[in-house]
Amino acid sequence: MTTSHKIQGSLTALVTPFKDGKVDEQAFGDFVNWQIESGTHGLVPCGTTGESATLSDEEHKRVIGLCVEAAAGRVPVIAGAGSNETTVSIRYARHAKELGADAALIVTPYYNKPSQEGIFQHFKAISQAVDIPVIVYNIPGRSVVDITNDTMGRLSKLPTVIGCKDATGDISRVTGLLDRCGEDFIQLSGDDPTSLAHSVHGGKGCISVGSNVAPVKYAAFHNALLSGDYVKARKIHDTLDRLHKDLFLDPSPAPAKYALSVLGKMGTEVRLPMTPCRDETKIAVKAAIRRAGVSV
């Protein structure tokens, strides 16, 4: 079980554009193409940033299919396939494989608060049911449960699990996971503000929210990291720092969608329980865009 693409660098957690309550397919296809042309190393449709929790099953499949179609094999597509119900995650992972995604991003079961053994058995069941590379998504801030380093070590031995997305912001985990999971285990950050440090410790990239808005800059940032040029990376990071943070002044992805509306890429529409961002957030986001060197 392998993926033909190398999963590393700037991997955009794609927003899902809506228009009049429906997925704006034209805007999404254009957006995917813009991301790739801007140097983005990979695409992640139907993650949290893509408002996956509010997508119907049909929309979920459609968005992944549109992303695979628009990417046309140019970069890897890592399809969001997470759920707090194991059978639903299996179904989503099957859809991802059938639609041609290169890997599936699967979050720890949220709300249920499973034990470490329950987490392991959840991923084991998915691994046994679907032959698609899996990136394990650890985000205790949203799912409530945390995957310990020891449990991640066990998960790394499953035949389809190739890496993890860590959104804890705990940089010390990288070395601990290198020890337990090995060098080939793809460690990705899920936290833009700490992605520089994550890379220094051995990470291979970031599933990024900010790269929705400034893909050229984030690609350059991660190219510098991948080449080991941390002086250059830090200089770029300094210009992106406000964007990293100000895209979360209101619940994501409302600020990112506002930023993309300013850039003419899509509308600001989000689905309840998300609401459009506040006026003070808009002011901060516009300033962060300019600081990042993106022309408004």
Catalytic site positions: 137, 165
Helices (H) and strands (E) in the chain, counts: 12, 10
Helices 279-291 and 230-246, axial angle in degrees (round to 10): 170
Question: How far, in whole angstroms, is CA 163 from its chain's centroid?
Answer: 13
User: What are the backbone dihedrals phi and psi of residue 153, each rounded to the nearest 5 degrees, phi first?
Assistant: -60, -45
Q: Which two tokens stand for residue 231?
A: 């002086």
Consecutive H or E run containing 208 = strand 205-208
Q: Which two tokens stand for residue 292?
A: 């990042």
Give the C-alpha separation, 226 to 106, whole Å: 25
